[in-house]
Structure 1
Amino acid sequence: MALETGGILLHEPQSSELLIFEGALELLTLYERWNSFAQKNNYGAVINFSGIVRQESEMNKEEDGLYFEIYEPLLVKWFDSWQEKLKQKGAFLCMAHSKGFVGVGQSSFSVSILSSKRSTALQSIEEFVEDFKANAPIWKYDQISHQRFFAKARSQSIAGSGLFGELTYLDSESNNEESNTEENK
């Protein structure tokens, strides 16, 4: 099955699959691809999880959303560790993520875990998604009226990483902006 234009295959499908797309994901194409692989390789369980950009209070549903930046070398390293962990359990990992702008109501993240055992796939999907949220080197920004804001209240730091320079945060609770400089930390 051919991928939609814009997809970048970072792993060959024989061992795992990591895909990066510019913009929103085409979920049906991904589901078909991964389910087809499961059928060809006699996996009985396919557990899918997809993330959809939700409308935050400041966002206009028609034109706003999230903007994603990915540090691909570190993402591949993180993904490889998960692929090895799941391989030991007899499971296969497929993941796709967006970079750039993704509008409200569109998908930016999808993962499937394929296994011959339902319990392995069910347990692994929760562990994977939680670790993804905490440790994957993907940064998201609210994009409102064509401007990007780092949403500090909905973010968490990655161990061993840091950001330098000045950032503007949009506090989604109070809609207040604050500057993050060395003096304000």
Structure 2
Amino acid sequence: MTQACNRTEEMAEEQRDILKLSCDWLSIQEVVEAVGSTSCGAISVFIGTTREDEIDGRKVIGLEYEAYELMAQSEFTKLCADIRKCWPTVMHICVHHRLGWVKVGEASVAMAISSPHRHDSQQAIQHCIERLKANIPIWKKEVYDNQETNWKENSECPWSKLGSVHRTMK
């Protein structure tokens, strides 16, 4: 009987960290299924969509995303390690992010995190989106109804704040 228990412990599920950058539509079901686990009673999900907005009289019709993909994967690995340091019970982490054109109303990012209990996965998902915006090299350009464009700075990025201060001081 003891041997069977030891074998079960040895066959413990390995943690999964998945980052997918793609020009394809995001499948929320795929993201949720990627973090499913019989040892987890909670899956927390965040879906970020392109919102309709008006800036200086121009209507936003969509966003264009670009990424430095190799660096994004490296930073994502660091983010997952950070999440597990803060919330050790987190089992699986999955983030899918669109690249290219994303029109108003469409999802640009979908993420899910599983853990045995909801508290850890909920806190981890909040941390994940904040750190993703701050550290993962994914950039967005707003496209307006008059076809003008504007690259956006994420307020979470430490270098954008420093850059703003530096530009103001000149």
Give the counterpart letter for 2:108 in structure 1: S
1:104 is matched with 104
In percent, how many aligned pairs have the same letter? Answer: 24
2:122 is matched with 122
Q: CA deviation at 1:90?
A: 2.8
1:179 is matched with none
- Pair member with larger Rg: 2
2:11 is matched with none
Contact 1:54 1:105 in 2 (8 A): yes
2:89 is matched with 90
Q: CA deviation at 1:37?
A: 4.1
Gap regions ≥5 residues in structure 2: 1-13
1:48 is matched with 45
Q: CA deviation at 1:74?
A: 1.3
Contact 1:137 1:158 in 2 (8 A): no
In the TM superposition, what whole-angstrom CA distance separates every residue of 1:18-54 from its partner, at most 9, and x where no partner exists?
111215x33xx33x23433444443211000011101
Q: CA deviation at 1:85?
A: 2.9
1:20 is matched with 21
In the TM superposition, what whole-angstrom CA distance separates every residue of 1:124-153 from its partner, at most 9, and x where no partner exists?
11111111222221111011244432235x
Gap regions ≥5 residues in structure 1: 1-12, 164-181
Contact 1:59 1:65 in 2 (8 A): no
- Match of 1:42, SS state, is coil
Q: CA RMSD in A?
A: 2.9
1:36 is matched with 33
Count the aligned residue pairs.
145
Q: Which has the higher helix share?
A: 2
Taking structure 2 as the reference length, the TM-score comes to 0.71
Q: 1:120 to 1:14 in 2, by over 3 A?
A: closer
Q: 1:99 to 1:158 in 2, by over 3 A?
A: farther
CA distance in 2, matches of 1:106, 1:117: 30
Q: Is it true that 1:69 corresponds to 2:66 in the alignment?
A: yes
CA distance in 1, matches of 2:32, 2:157: 34
Give the counterpart letter for 1:53 in structure 2: T
- Match of 1:43, SS state, is coil
Comparing both chains, which one has the higher relative contact order based on Cα–Cα distances under 8 Å and sequence gaps of 6 or more?
2
Q: CA deviation at 1:115?
A: 0.9
